[in-house]
Each structure stands twice: as structure tokens, then as C-alpha cells.
Amino acid sequence: MAVSIDKILGKKEDPEEALTRLQKEFSLSDKQRDFVYHYVRTDGNRRVAGMDAGYVADKRALIEDEYNQSVAAKKARNVMGVTTTTLMKNPKIKNAIAQFESIYKNRKKSEVQDDVYKNTHLMATYDIRDFADALVGDSAIEIAEKIRNLPEDVSKAITGIEFKYLGKDADRFVANFKFADRHKSMEFLAKLTGMLVDRKEINNVGNSLPTINIAVMGGPGSEVKTTRMAKKVEAEDE
């Protein structure tokens, strides 16, 4: 059973809970709280943060239309600029942004790590028998459709598919499947969770995993056959 990434990396404060706590701690209004959130969410875009927080709401259409150079539009943008500048000069908002930014980015980092962990776990524990039916078919389209209908937690183990037709007979082909290497994936998972420590520290948990190839014959009455057999038939057709 997969271990929660929170148990591995330590549970971090939820951004929404942190925002509620910061609003109370710094006595922020609802709009100020929303400005803090959207400012961090947009990587410091004051104008978008101000609009999403509801400031100068009645002039939003004018502010967003960059091609509108009318006096009214310029005035609306100026009002928004002054509003966001004033917000950013507020010590309470500045402190809230600084704290929330750290919490928000840490949580996003945890979500990425969680995805990497889950995907690696799937690549390390898949059962090739789950793919038995999907590997064969009378056409590449049929096989592709079977692959598409596999459960997501199963299909992630397939990293690539290549179809090669044999000679002039379009009904006979070899389907080359690339699967994640379970042993290498398990080793990577062990390092990711700290169960296995290497001399070289793992800094990039997003590195691609090795693959293994499986070739099968396709066509009417097809069934899973060995790579050697596929090459033999291909040689005969040549």
C-alpha cells in the first residue's frame, strides 16, 4: 500500500487554513485577504490580484481591455494602480504576503512531490498481466483503443508504443511496447522515500525512469509472441 507523502516529508499547513489564520492575525478585510491570495497565486501580478480580489470591480472590463485607450479606461487603470500600490505599502498586507507565499509554494512543491511519488509507485508495482488483453488486436487502432480504456493507474506504466507493419501485408504488424523498468523504478522509489541512500543526493525527483521493451505480433488471430518470433517473421517477409 502506498505511503502518504505527508508521512515522508512532514505534513504542511494547508494554504486555505493558513490564509484564514493570517486574516485573523493581521486583521485583514475579506478583500485584503483575497488580494494576498491572488498576489501570491499570480507570482506578484498586482493588477490581476487587485481585480480578482474585487477592487475597482465596476471598471474591470475597462482595465482588462488593453486596446482601450479611452480617458475612462486610462483613469480606471490609474485608480487600480494607486489602489494596489496603497495595498502593497500596508505593513500588515506585506507581512501576510511574505508568510503566505512561503506556505503556498511549499504546498505546491509537496503536490508535485506527491505526484512524482504516486507515479513512481505505480511504475514500480504494476502487474504485466493487467495488460495481457490490451497488447493484442487485429489492428493498431484496436490496440490503441484498448490502451486508452485501461485504468489510469495501470496505463501509466506504458511509456511508449510503436507499430511496424511487416512487408506489404497491412494486416500483419509488430507492436513495440515500452514499459517502465520495475526494478529501476523500485530503486528510485526507495531513494525518494529515504529507504535507500545513495552517495549522490537526489535533487531532481522528476528524472525520467528507464524503460523495458516488449514486442508482440498483431493481426487476425493475434496473440502475445516473443520479440525473437517477431523479428523472424519480419526477416521472412523481407
The predicted-structure confidence for 96-150, as pLDDT tens digits, reads as follows 998 888 888 777 766 666 677 777 777 777 777 788 787 877 888 888 888 888 8
Residue scoring higher pLDDT (220 or 173): 173
User: What does the pLDDT read at residue 212?
Assistant: 53
Helix ranges restricted to H, 126-226: 140-148, 152-155, 182-192
The domain boundary residue, chosen from 123, 145, 162: 123
One domain for residues 160 and 220 = yes
Residue written as grid cell 506489404: 168
Asked whether residue 164 is domain-assigned, the answer is yes
One domain for residues 204 and 232 = yes
pLDDT at 80 over 70: yes
pLDDT at 29 over 70: yes
- The domain of 16 spans 12-123
Asked whether residue 3 is domain-assigned, the answer is no
One domain for residues 170 and 73 = no
One domain for residues 37 and 110 = yes
Q: Average the pLDDT over 165-179 and give the result.
A: 76
Asked whether residue 56 is domain-assigned, the answer is yes
Give dist(CA 10, CA 205) in Å, integer: 17
The number of distinct structural domains making up the chain is 2
> Smallest Cα–Cα separation from 23: which of 14, 15, 32, 12?
32
Q: What is the mean pLDDT of the chain?
A: 75
User: What does the pLDDT read at residue 79?
Assistant: 93
Percent of the chain predicted with pLDDT > 90: 24
One domain for residues 133 and 113 = no
pLDDT at 70 over 70: yes
Asked whether residue 132 is domain-assigned, the answer is yes
pLDDT at 224 over 50: no
One domain for residues 21 and 86 = yes
One domain for residues 162 and 201 = yes
User: What does the pLDDT read at residue 237?
Assistant: 47
State how far Cα 78 lies from the chain centre.
38
One domain for residues 54 and 102 = yes
Tell me the Cα Rg of the chain: 28
The domain boundary residue, chosen from 70, 89, 123: 123
CA atoms within 13 A on the CB side of 11: 5
Residue scoring higher pLDDT (160 or 84): 84
The domain boundary residue, chosen from 93, 123, 153: 123
Asked whether residue 115 is domain-assigned, the answer is yes
- pLDDT range class, residue 36, cuts 50, 70, 90: very high
Give dist(CA 11, CA 110) in Å, integer: 9
One domain for residues 47 and 99 = yes
pLDDT at 185 over 80: no
One domain for residues 48 and 116 = yes
Asked whether residue 157 is domain-assigned, the answer is yes
* Cell digits of residue 111: 503536490
